[in-house]
Amino acid sequence: MSDLIVAIGLVLVIEGLIYGGFPDLAKRLAAEVLSLPESALRVAGLASIAVGVGLVWLARG
């Protein structure tokens, strides 16, 4: 359970860096996402899941 809390904390830190450090970039990225087709978003999401699972698998081996 503590690993889950640490993982959520790291996600919040990374997102905070983007929104706090580069707010203009975050706005442009959000606008770009709105123009993408759902299929592209779905593929990107599934690829992110696969990479994330792979990284956890490598780290926890």
Query: What is the rounded average pLDDT of the residues 40-60?
Result: 93
Q: What is the pLDDT of residue 29?
A: 92
Cα(39)–Cα(52) distance, rounded to whole angstroms?
A: 20
Residue 59 — very low, low, confident or very high, per pLDDT cuts 50/70/90?
confident
Does the pLDDT of residue 60 top 90, yes or no?
no
**In terms of residue numbers, what domain contains 16?**
2-60
Q: What is the mean pLDDT of the chain?
A: 93
Cα(9)–Cα(14) distance, rounded to whole angstroms?
A: 9
Q: What is the pLDDT of residue 5?
A: 93
